[in-house]
């Protein structure tokens, strides 16, 4: 895979609010992260992330199997859009679909996701959002956290890039834990990207 440029262009995939995307864009804007937000793609026509992108001048597209006609056509449309926008690194920020094989191949070791638990625990199909935090609390875990990982063809199985721990308190509800984990996500995803862009973390050593 071609090495990342000194200032990579970021493509975001988001299904709903995109709060992690917003945190990363903010890190770019204030100069903490040496990267350029280039494109947002959402499978949800009504997502708040699309509205935010429109209001903030970020190129954005709604692409879904319904709008393109099939999963195969969606995969090709994703690839075309990413290439047209000169995207170097793809960020999944709450994207609720699998990435197609064409994009996975073209962007091997260049697709990152963040998961609200310490993988390999509490990962896989159906383990997202409140489902994760409910399971963590039900199993009486004393810590949870966030995992940034490379994306492959399955849910949450790609190589781990880095993790950060978050304590689980005795009185926590799933909502309490979710809020604490999300706050860590916003900080940790950007920090991990800084380490990737600086060369401290080489994604090709992981995949």
Q: What is the DSSP string of 97-142?
A: SPPPHHHHHHTTT-EEEEESS-TTTT-STT--THHHHHHHHHTT-S
Assess whether pLDDT exceeds 90 at residue 2.
no
Region 195-207: mean pLDDT is 94
Question: Strand, coil or helix: what is 8?
Answer: coil
Task: Name the DSSP letter for residue 3.
Answer: P
Task: Give the residue numbers annotated as catalytic, written as ranges.
Answer: 115
Q: From the CB of residue 124, how many other CB atoms can be counted at a distance below 10 Å?
A: 13
Task: Name the DSSP letter for residue 187.
Answer: H
Assess whether pLDDT exceeds 80 at residue 78.
yes
Q: Which residues pair with 36 in a beta bridge?
A: 9
**pLDDT band for position 207 (50/70/90)?**
confident
Assess whether pLDDT exceeds 80 at residue 1.
no
Q: Tell me the average pLDDT of the chain.
A: 96
Q: How far apart are CA 175 and CA 133, in angstroms?
A: 8
Measured between alpha carbons, how far is residue 88 from residues 1, 11, 65, 107, 170 in Å?
11, 8, 24, 8, 42
Whether the bond into 120 is cis, omega within 30 of 0: yes
Instruction: For 135-164, write each residue's pLDDT tens digit.
Output: 999 999 999 999 999 999 999 999 999 999
Q: How far apart are CA 166 and CA 174, in angstroms?
A: 13
Domains within the chain, CATH numbers bracketed: 8-108 (3.40.50.170), 114-199 (3.40.50.170)
Name which of 12-16, 29-33, 123-127, 192-196 the model is least confident about. Answer: 123-127
Task: Give the per-residue pLDDT at 22.
Answer: 97
Region 89-105: mean pLDDT is 96
């Amino acid at each position: 895979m071609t090495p990342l440029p000194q200032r990579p262009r970021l493509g975001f995939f988001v299904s709903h609010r995109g709060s992690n995307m917003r945190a990363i864009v903010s890190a770019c804007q204030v100069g903490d992260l040496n990267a350029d937000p280039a494109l947002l793609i959402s499978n949800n026509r009504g997502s708040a992330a699309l509205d935010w992108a429109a209001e903030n001048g970020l190129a954005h597209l709604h692409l879904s199997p319904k709008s393109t006609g099939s999963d195969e056509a969606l995969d090709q449309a994703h690839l075309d859009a990413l290439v047209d926008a000169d995207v170097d690194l793809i960020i999944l920020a709450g994207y609720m679909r699998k990435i197609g094989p064409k994009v996975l191949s073209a962007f091997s070791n260049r697709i990152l996701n963040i998961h609200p638990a310490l993988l390999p625990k509490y990962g896989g199909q159906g383990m997202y959002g409140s489902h994760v935090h409910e399971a963590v609390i039900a199993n009486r875990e004393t810590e949870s956290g966030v995992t940034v990982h490379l994306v492959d063809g399955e849910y949450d199985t790609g190589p781990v890039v880095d993790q950060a721990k978050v304590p689980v308190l005795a009185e926590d509800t799933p909502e309490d834990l979710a809020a604490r984990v999300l706050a860590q996500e916003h900080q940790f995803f950007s920090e991990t990207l800084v380490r990737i862009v600086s060369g401290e973390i080489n994604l090709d050593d992981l995949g």
